[in-house]
Amino acid sequence: MNHLKFISPLLLLSVMNYACNTGAPEKEASADSTEIHLITLDPGHFHAALVQKSMYPGIDSVVHVYAPDGPELQEQLRFIDQYNTRADAPTHWHEDIYKGPDFLEKMVADKKGNVVVMAGNNQRKTEYIQQAVSAGMNVLADKPMAISTAGFDKLLQTFADAKEKKVLLYDIMTERSEITNTLQGELSRINDVFGELQKGSEKDPAVVLESVHHFYKYVSGKALKRPSWFFDPKQQGDAIVDVGTHLVDLVQWECFPGVALDYKTDIQLQAARRWPTPVTLSQFSIITGLDSFPSFLQPYAKDTVLNVAANGEAAYTLKGVHVKVTALWHYAAPEGGGDTHYSLFRGTKSNLVIRQGKEEKYEPTLYVEPAAGSNTPAFETALQAALKQLETKYPGLGTEKSAKGWKITIPAKYKNGHEAHFAQVMERYLQYLKDGKLPDWEVPNMLAKYYTTTKALEMSAEK
């Protein structure tokens, strides 16, 4: 079977058990009891490994890897070996590896799997996706799936091909699994607390998201080694089309849940800009292990400083709501810190704000801040009633007074961290495979997302 047109009753039961009982001990799936066989294609980003940080019932433990030989493949295998040999809940993946320049053609010809995982160099990713879908294989791709308007046009056709082939093309949106994002969306739909989402203006948008990432960071307890192409916008993608993908996705997912968006009519780009982050040669060497800038990075280098296309901002309207998203990259986080996220939703009764700064000890924290004139005992009663309403889905939520309103206190069990979110994405994807389809709004909203990011990049380039 080349792809998941049909799924056995045993797999259905396995997937359902996993979705409903994630706390159960993980068991390796035997080859004769599964119809899901993973392929990892050209892994060059640690997200490819994080998909395999957990085992999943219903997925064969043998993973077929197709990639060029080199340090990126070795880094992928190092992560998998680390997960397989850890003391606590070790995984037991077996990597069946094909190395060679014809890895893409070999993958398509072999068809050893039916779900292709992609996370790496983005220059050819849209092409990889198109080839896998054309061969009748499902695709779970890391963001971004397109880094240019030409890539978006190709992706548009690929989604049409996926529909014809009856395969599922889906991107890895881990930020939907972060509990503060989830609760911000939930509270924005409770009128007594949030009211209605304001429209805002270009100068004072109703929705503002900002994400700060760092080149030097730790993943799975070890300092991350990045490939040199990560600093090339032609291969990694500019900030607007890379990290900006998550921000645009959250705006759509939280503000218009379950609504199928039309990228042709619902989105109007207003402004976009981008600017570099300087990285010294010594910093570059620490991150990559290289003692000089490769030739493809020379256009961005001046003496011993590399100007990385790492920061971008876009202003647009989504169904009439003014939005601003900003993606930023620094070299390293402050002591005790890490990547940070800021999110502001302006409602007629309150603002819902996520902050992750020093005051929050660099942990994402959700605040409810009443609008002027709304900070009354009746509002506090409405907020407590809202948390009671959410009790069945998220037991244990509470409040603490803050400078401008209330901080939502969230039990530690919901704060499982970025790396754990990859398993949650896979869990959702398994359910979609079981259903044989994505939710009706997912494909149009993926198209809306990549239209927004690629058009914003195009607009910033024109400046």
pLDDT of the residue at 6: 35
- Is 133 inside a domain boundary? yes
In which element (H, E) is residue 424 found? helix 421-435
What's the domain count of the chain? Answer: 2
Q: What is the pLDDT of residue 9?
A: 39
Retrieve residue 368's tokens: 């409810």
Same domain, 130 and 181: no
Which pLDDT belongs to residue 171? 97
The verdict on 138 and 180 lying in the same domain is no
Cβ atoms of 238 and 312 within 8 Å: the answer is yes
For the chain, the 3-state helix, strand and coil shares in percent, each to the nearest 5, are 35, 25, 35
Closest of 52, 62, 65, 67 to residue 94, by C-alpha: 62
Q: Which strand (E) or helix (H) includes residue 368?
A: strand 365-370
pLDDT at residue number 401: 95
Tell me: do 154 and 189 sit in the same domain.
no
Same domain? For 330 and 376 the reply is: yes
Q: What is the pLDDT of residues 164-216, one digit of tens each?
A: 999 999 999 999 999 999 999 999 999 999 999 999 999 999 999 999 999 99
Contact 1, 35 (CB under 8 A): yes
What is the SS3 assignment for 330?
strand
Among 138, 172, 206, residue at a domain's last position? 172
The structure tokens listed for 214 are 């760092």
Encoding tokens for residue 259? 């609504």
Q: Is 107 in contact with 127 (CB distance < 8 Å)?
A: no
- The CATH number linked to 118 is 3.40.50.720
Helices assigned H by DSSP within 166-280? 179-188, 191-194, 244-255
- Quick check: is 1 in a domain? no
Rg (CA), the chain: 22
CATH number of the domain residue 401 falls in: 3.30.360.10
316 belongs to a structural domain: yes
Q: Are residue 160 and residue 193 in the same domain, yes or no?
A: no
Q: In 55-198, which ranges are continuous DSSP H helix?
A: 71-85, 103-110, 125-134, 149-165, 179-188, 191-194
Same domain, 103 and 166: yes
* Domain boundary pick from 144, 172, 200: 172
Kindly state whether residues 165 and 120 are assigned to the same domain: yes
| Tokens describing residue 220 | 């799975």
Could you tell me if residue 32 is inside a domain? yes
Secondary structure of residue 319 in the 3-state scheme: coil
List, for the chain, all residue ranges whose pLDDT scores fall below the cut of 50. Answer: 1-33
Residue 370 per-residue DSSP state: E
Q: Which amino acid is at 289?
A: G
- pLDDT for the residue numbered 104: 97
Residue 320: domain span: 176-414
Contact criterion met (CB below 8 Å) for 341 and 364: yes
- Cα-to-chain-centroid distance, residue 286: 26
Same domain, 207 and 341: yes
**Do 239 and 289 have their domain in common?**
yes
Distance CA 436, CA 144 (A): 24
| Three-state DSSP class for residue 209 | strand
Q: Let me know whether 295 and 168 are in one domain.
A: no
Tell me, yes or no, whether 440 lies in a domain. Answer: no
Structure confidence by residue, pLDDT tens digits, 261-287: 999 999 999 999 999 999 999 999 999
Q: Is the full-model pTM beyond 0.85?
A: yes
Which residues make Cβ contacts (< 8 Å) with residue 108, sequence separation at least 6? 131, 132, 134, 135
Instruction: Say if 462 falls within a structural domain.
Output: no
Residue at 381 is within a domain: yes
Last residue of a domain, one of 112, 145, 172: 172
Q: Is 243 part of any domain?
A: yes
Residue-level pLDDT at 48 = 94
pLDDT at 463: 67
